[in-house]
Amino acid sequence: MTEKRELIRNGKRANGREDDELRPIKITVGVLDKAQGSCLLEWGKNMVLAGVYGPREVFPKRDVDARKAILVARYVMAPFSGVEGHGRAGPNRRSREISKVAGHVFENVVLTEKFPKTMIEVQMEVLQSDGGTRIAAITAGVLALADAGIPMKDLPCGSGVGTIDEDNKRMVLDLDKYEDNLGKSDIPTILSPRTGEILLYQMDGYLTKEQLLEGLDKVQSKAVPRLREEMARALKEKYGGMAENGGVEQ
């Protein structure tokens, strides 16, 4: 049973964060040997591992596209990932829907037309969950694609945004599990920083037009710059020395 908790205490978020403050984010790329690209991403208590295989031969064969690579995205939560009881292994309806919209984000930026008749797989495993796992998983997937050396137009990123107060008025960024479960609304949002376009947008709640625009602007102005910084840092950590090193990984 979901524990009854206050989300706001003395006018501030009970988890101690400012309204526009994201949780600590730690990103490491290239953590798996077999996958062409990989990323371990810790976002608050969320922990997601993403691995990329491909471009490689298409399976099943009937899915082959003569014009471009097909992109297969798979998001799954481990049965031990939540604070509640043992979950079910493998994909469910929720995770299948998330896999679909995650695939749209990757397809928007990957230059799939460079690899016709192939398949690029992005595997995302949620190992620990604390609210906002789809955003964390897609961020990890984007970085695993970059780590695999797959050409992309941009590094999409974003955050959840929603209302957690009883009046359904106050928009805060990056809702954790309790804020998501007990709050009034949540809008996972992913943007393309280069074009400003919305690539992922889903919503639960009952909000006005003004609130939706306020939420979008918060993600754009507060979450995206922070994520860009963290993502660049992770890639530089692994590849930063390459320029001085004649293009060879250190």
Partner 1 sequence: MILDEVKEKFIKGVMREGKRTDGRAFDEYRKISVDTEAFPNAEGGAWVKIGETQVAAGVKIDLSTPFPDQPDEGMLSVNAEFSPLAHPDFYPGPPKPESIELARVVDRGIRSAESIDLKKLFVKENKVLGVFIDLYVLNHSGNLIDAAALAAMAALNKARLPKIEDDKIVYGEYTGQLPIARSVVTTTFEKIEGQIILDANDHEEVASEARFTLGTGDGDKFASAQKSGNGGFTRGEFEYLLDTALEKGRELRKLV
Which positions touch partner 1 (CB under 8 A)? 1-2, 66, 93-94, 96-97, 99-101, 104, 107-108, 185, 187, 191-192, 195-209, 212-213, 216, 220
Shortest gap between Cβ of 64 and partner 1 (angstroms)? 10
Shortest gap between Cβ of 13 and partner 1 (angstroms)? 22
- Which residues are CB-contacts of 7 (< 8 A; sequence separation ≥ 6)? 13, 14, 164, 165, 178, 179, 182, 183
Please tell me the distance from the alpha carbon of residue 192 to that of residue 113, in angstroms, as a whole number: 19
Q: Which is nearer to partner 1, 28 or 202 (CB)?
A: 202
CA angle 136, 65, 135 (to 5 degrees): 5
Q: Which is nearer to partner 1, 26 or 100 (CB)?
A: 100
CB 31 within 8 A of CB 38: yes
Q: Which is nearer to partner 1, 35 or 52 (CB)?
A: 52
Please tell me the distance from the alpha carbon of residue 36 to that of residue 165, in angstroms, as a whole number: 44
Maximal C-alpha separation, the chain: 60
The two tokens of residue 152 are 């992309």
Shortest gap between Cβ of 16 and partner 1 (angstroms)? 25
Shortest gap between Cβ of 201 and partner 1 (angstroms)? 4
Please tell me the distance from the alpha carbon of residue 229 to that of residue 223, in angstroms, as a whole number: 10
Q: Which is nearer to partner 1, 38 or 99 (CB)?
A: 99
Q: Which is nearer to partner 1, 13 or 74 (CB)?
A: 74
Q: Which is nearer to partner 1, 87 or 205 (CB)?
A: 205
CB 135 within 8 A of CB 231: no
Shortest gap between Cβ of 50 and partner 1 (angstroms)? 19
Residue type, 195: T
Strand partners, 74: 123
Shortest gap between Cβ of 121 and partner 1 (angstroms)? 15
